[in-house]
């Protein structure tokens, strides 16, 4: 599948025209990760965002445990084919808030976040569509994280 078609399959970019997709496709590189690989850790500088072409990825939150060096891990979402992750690359302070770990061998499109920001600044039509899509991604992730944390603490 071409990079442009992969972007089109992702909901965040699905309403862009062919020429708009072309501008973003030029910022992408295709990468493959084996199962068990950590693509990024929470706290890392967020320079890229990703679209999953194949595989399955867990987004994991690390919580400190009182009086222990251990940290509690909570998987807050599973990224499936054509979904976007790593949106922290588009938002200050440009730090990943979750870790991304491959559950299966994964093929991803990695998008240079600062270059994408430049494209969005130059083209408000692209910016509207992409930011609209990103808000939906952030909204879903916030909802899932809240639900799991509430469950984890048995508050429901």
Segment interacting with another protein (CB under 8 A) among 16-24, 67-75, 80-88, 127-135 = 67-75
**Contact residue for another protein among 41, 54, 73, 136 (CB under 8 A):** 73
- By CB under 8 A, is residue 97 in contact with another protein? no
Q: Cα(110)–Cα(129) distance, rounded to whole angstroms?
A: 19
Backbone φ and ψ of 122, nearest 5°: -85, -20
Q: Which residues pair with 38 in a beta bridge?
A: 101
Site string for another protein, 75-94 (x = CB under 8 A): xxxx----------------
Closest CA to 130 of 75, 53, 51: 51
Distance of closest approach, residue 116 Cβ to another protein, in angstroms:
28
Q: Which is nearer to another protein, 76 or 116 (CB)?
A: 76
- By CB under 8 A, is residue 31 in contact with another protein? no
Closest CA to 97 of 46, 26, 147: 46
Contact (Cβ atoms closer than 8 angstroms) between residue 56 and residue 26 = no
Q: Which two tokens stand for residue 62?
A: 């690390």
Which spans of this chain sit near another protein (rule: CB under 8 A)? 34-36, 56, 58, 60, 70, 72-78, 101-105, 144, 147-148, 151-152, 154, 156
């Amino acid at each position: 599948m071409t990079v442009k078609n992969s972007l089109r399959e992702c909901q965040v970019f699905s309403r862009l025209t062919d020429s708009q997709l072309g501008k973003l496709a030029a910022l992408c590189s295709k990468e493959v990760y084996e199962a068990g690989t950590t693509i990024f850790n929470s706290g890392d500088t967020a320079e890229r965002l990703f679209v999953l072409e194949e595989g399955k990825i867990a987004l994991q939150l690390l919580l400190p445990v009182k009086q222990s060096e251990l940290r509690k891990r909570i998987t807050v979402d599973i990224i499936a084919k054509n979904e976007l992750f790593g949106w922290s690359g588009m938002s200050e302070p440009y730090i990943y808030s979750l870790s991304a770990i491959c559950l299966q061998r994964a093929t991803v499109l990695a998008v240079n976040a600062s270059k994408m920001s430049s494209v969005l600044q130059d083209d408000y039509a692209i910016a509207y569509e992409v930011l609209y899509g990103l808000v939906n991604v952030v909204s879903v992730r916030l909802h899932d994280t809240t639900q799991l944390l509430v469950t984890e603490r048995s508050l429901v």
